[in-house]
Structures are given as C-alpha cells and as structure tokens.
Amino acid sequence: MDSKKAWFVWGVGVAAYLVAITQRTSFGVAGLEATERFNATASALSAFTVVQLLVYAGLQIPVGVLVDRLGPRFMIATGAALMCLGQLQLAAATSVPGGLVGRVLVGSGDAMTFIAVIRLIPAWFPAKRVPVLTQLTGQLGQLGQLISIIPFAFVLHTFGWSAAFLSTAALGLLAFVLAATLVRNEPDGTRHDERAAGLKDTAADLAKAWRQPGTQLGMWSHFTVQFSGTVFILTWGYPFLRSGQGLDSGTATALMSLFVLVGLVCGPLLGGWVGRHPLRRSTMVLLISAATAVAWAATLLYPGPAPLWLLVVLVLTLALGGPASMIGFDFARTYNPSHRLGTATGIVNVGGFCAALVTMYLVGLVLDLLYNGGFSTELYALDSFRIALSVQFLILAIGAVAMLMSRRVVRRRMAENGVLVPPLRQALADDWRRRRSGRR
C-alpha cells in the first residue's frame, strides 16, 4: 500500500472524476443558450439538471452495491462510456425531450464515478491517509468545473452548441480508455473476504449500512452542507449573477472560478482538521451550514444588487460546502466494514444531491410562478430571485435538525462503548498544547 503504483491508480481515478465533473457542470454555463435552443421556460431549464441529479441520486445506492460486487475499475469505465454517449446525444438534440435523454445518460455515468474512485482509496492507502485523500479526490475533481467555465464556455460561444458538447464527449471517451486500461481495484496479492454475492446478501448489507447511525449521520451531513453550492454552480448561480445581480460575463465567470479554487485550497486543510479532530466532524458541518445561511441572508436582503465584496463572501462560503460534504463519506468509512463501504458511501451521497435537485426544481418553479403571476416583467429579475432562492433556508433547517437527531444516536452508542466526546473548548486546548509541545 501507499506505493508509486497506488498514487498512479488513484491519479487515473481522479482524472476520470474530473472528467465526470466537467460533464456534470457543462450544462450550468449553457443555461442561457439552452433557453434559446430549446425555447425553454425556467422550470424546463431547471428540469435538465433536476432530471440529471434525480438519476444520479437514484442510482447511488445501486451503484454502491455494484462497486462492492464488481469493483471500481468496471464502474469507472462504464460511467465514462455512458457520459460520452450522453454528451453526443445532447450535441445533436434540438428539443427538450431529446436534451433530457442526454442528461439522463450523463447522470447515469456520473453516478458511477465518484463512489468508485472513493472506494479505491482504502484499498490502496493506509487509514491515516484516507481523510486527506478523500478531500483531495473531491476537490481535484472539481477542477472539471473550470473546464466547463473556461474552455467549454469559450467553445460554446465561439463555435456553437454542438461543437461544445462534442468536445466533452471526447473527454468521456478519453476517460473510458484510461480507466479500462490503467485502473486496478486493489494491489496484487490482496486477500479477499469470501462472501456470497447473492440478492439476499446484498439486501442484508444494504439494510445493515442504512441502520448504522453513523451512515445516517453521514447522509444528513452531506444533505445539509452540499446542496447550496451544487445549486449555485450547476444551475442558478450564473443566471443569478448575470441577470439578477447585473454582472458582466467576465466577472460572473471569475466568481464561478473562485468557487472551484477555494474548494481546492480548503479541502486538504479541512481533511487535516478532520484527521486531528475526528470527534468534531459534525460540529464543522453544522458551522459551515450556519455560515451558508448567514451569507445567503445577507445577499438576498441587501437593498438592490449586492456589492461585489458581498458576492465574493457568498461564493467563498458556498465553496466550503464541497469540502465539508466529504466529511459525510468519512462517517461512512468509520462506521462500516470495508466489504460494504461502497454501499454506505452510496447512501451518504444520496443526501446532498436529493436536497440539490429538490431545491433546483423549487427555485425554477417559484421563478415561473412569479413571472406568470405578473410579479415581475422579467423572468430572472433580482426580486424574483430573492424569493425563489429563499427556499434554501427550509432545506438547510430540515438537514440541520435531522443531523442533530442522528448525531445524538451516534454519540449515545459511542458512550455505551466508553467513548465520550469532550467539550469543544477542551478539544481545541488539547490540540493547541500538542502543537506547542511539538514545536519545542
């Protein structure tokens, strides 16, 4: 473990995930063009991403089970092939139904990638490296958003819709070839836990993973902290910045790029913090969720268009949600045995994307209702966005309450096993003393 080959296999997996993120987010910067190409309403536009994420979320648990049974290599390669086909379909589509078929294929392939790459890490690396590498996987993959925001957007605006989506299909083909030829599920000579893979055993593993309070805590953590940034970057962030806030395309693109870069920088730092304070993971998630609510409230309540500095603060806060959501997968790893890690990871990953797709759809629905009801003469008016984006507060509240409830069960079981969570002040003081003594 932790050999040069391990880093190589992980690197190929991360590259495949980066391509998957590119495929996932490419539609987010083509929203205005899609409105014209498909003559779509706000609800129809949001349906493209909602359907994609609905497929993604719906496949998480089945994919998690399949990763445990078939291995990461097969799932990563299959996912890349499906995304390639989806982008080819979208490049040729001229109607909403045709475009939706493409997004269904993209969502299906995307669903197979992240869980499989995460599954590679504990197979190839020692446990002490897993939290940081999990963070790095998530955040390096987010560089795919930069491909969507910069080169994809350039091709889209310069050469047109079909050329842009054909270019992303080519990336999917490349990811397929790399995964099929270079990824290996585990180091040579790894001993296998011989277990039956029948339907009964699969159902039993799924039930055990779900009944594990740590898995539920991971899912609700992912639900609470991940969705707002996903909604922003995949669907409504660019229209909100351009049409609602009146920013030019260059400034809006810079803010979207900042979202990615901040997550990339903060991910390893947060992973290191989790490694030092494993009993404070849920506290960090709750703090970042609260900061998200405050940032949105300040932006939406600001009279008139928000100043650039406030929009920067909003983007910086939302960008923390991605790294924080990785903590949910660390809960799955901590509280489940290796043979059902993929299943537990799939359950966790359902959380944030279910919250995201519900929020995306509700925002589009509210925008349409306000426009059709005469509230505004513009579909994407700032006052309409203020109301529509406020649905996020409801989702944040639901997630925080559910998370606190599941955390209570986890901590009660920990106490029964003799593990007590010290007060936060004491934990921080102990960490400071350890650091100080280490410098001497």
Task: Tell me the mean pLDDT in the region 401-414.
Answer: 88
195 has a pLDDT exceeding 60: no
Residue 367 belongs to a domain: yes
Which of 117-126, 168-177, 415-424 has maximum average pLDDT?
A: 168-177
1 has a pLDDT exceeding 60: no
Mean pLDDT estimate for the chain: 85
Residue 190 belongs to a domain: no
Q: Which residues contact 26 (CB under 8 A, 6 or more apart)?
A: 87, 148, 152, 164, 165, 168
The predicted structure's pLDDT at residue 388: 94
Task: Tell me the mean pLDDT in the region 21-43.
Answer: 79
Helix segments in 93-185, DSSP class H: 96-111, 113-124, 130-141, 143-147, 153-159, 161-182
- C-alpha 58/C-alpha 62 separation (Å) is 8
Least confident of 148-152, 178-182, 390-394: 148-152
318 has a pLDDT exceeding 90: yes
Residue closest to 228 by CA, chosen among 277, 300, 280: 300
Question: Does 387 or 49 have the greater pLDDT score?
Answer: 387
Residue 167 belongs to a domain: yes
pTM higher than the cut 0.85: no
Question: pLDDT, tens digit, for every residue of 395-405?
Answer: 999 999 999 99
193 has a pLDDT exceeding 60: no
Question: Containing domain of residue 145, as a range?
Answer: 4-185+202-435
Q: Which residues contact 188 (CB under 8 A, 6 or more apart)?
A: none
The predicted structure's pLDDT at residue 260: 77
The predicted structure's pLDDT at residue 104: 92
- What are the backbone angles phi and psi of residue 15, rounded to the nearest 5°? -60, -40
- What are the backbone angles phi and psi of residue 190, rounded to the nearest 5°? -65, 135
Residue closest to 16 by CA, chosen among 143, 135, 130, 127: 143
Name the DSSP class of 243. I
196 has a pLDDT exceeding 50: no
57 has a pLDDT exceeding 50: yes
Residue 195 belongs to a domain: no
Residue 440 belongs to a domain: no
- C-alpha 142/C-alpha 22 separation (Å) is 8
Rounded to a whole number of angstroms, the CA Rg of the chain reads: 21
What are the CA-CA distances from residue 218 to residues 277, 333, 407 (Å)?
Answer: 16, 10, 9
Question: Does 85 or 380 have the greater pLDDT score?
Answer: 85
Residue 271 belongs to a domain: yes
Q: What band does 328 get if pLDDT is binned at 50, 70 and 90?
A: confident
Residue 211 structure tokens: 């009944």
Do 178 and 12 meet the contact criterion of CB atoms below 8 Å apart?
Answer: yes
Task: Tell me the mean pLDDT in the region 227-245.
Answer: 88
- C-alpha 258/C-alpha 30 separation (Å) is 19
Q: What band does 423 get if pLDDT is binned at 50, 70 and 90?
A: low
Do 268 and 135 meet the contact criterion of CB atoms below 8 Å apart?
Answer: yes
HSE-up (13 A, CA, CB side) for residue 363: 32
Residue 62 sits in a domain of what CATH number?
1.20.1250.20
- C-alpha 110/C-alpha 302 separation (Å) is 37
Least confident of 47-51, 148-152, 323-327: 47-51
120 has a pLDDT exceeding 70: yes
199 has a pLDDT exceeding 70: no
Number of domains in the chain: 1
Residue closest to 331 by CA, chosen among 217, 407, 419, 207: 217
Q: Which residues contact 368 (CB under 8 A, 6 or more apart)?
A: 41, 42, 43, 379
Task: Tell me the mean pLDDT in the region 353-368.
Answer: 88
The predicted structure's pLDDT at residue 437: 67
Least confident of 196-205, 246-255, 257-266, 337-346: 196-205
311-330 burial, b at 16+ Cβ within 10 Å, e below that, comes to bebbbbbbbbbbbbbbbbbb
Task: Tell me the mean pLDDT in the region 406-424.
Answer: 78
Question: Does 351 or 263 have the greater pLDDT score?
Answer: 351
- Burial group, residue 31, by CB count within 10 angstroms (0-12, 13-18, 19+): buried
Q: What band does 305 get if pLDDT is binned at 50, 70 and 90?
A: very high
Residue 194 belongs to a domain: no
- Burial group, residue 434, by CB count within 10 angstroms (0-12, 13-18, 19+): exposed
* Percent of residues, the chain, with pLDDT higher than 70: 91
80 has a pLDDT exceeding 70: yes
* Cα 84 to chain centroid, rounded: 20
Which of 38-52, 61-75, 217-231, 423-437 has maximum average pLDDT?
A: 217-231
Within 10 Å of residue 152's Cβ, how many Cβ atoms? 24
The predicted structure's pLDDT at residue 424: 64
Residue 124 belongs to a domain: yes
314 has a pLDDT exceeding 90: yes
Task: Tell me the mean pLDDT in the region 155-159.
Answer: 87
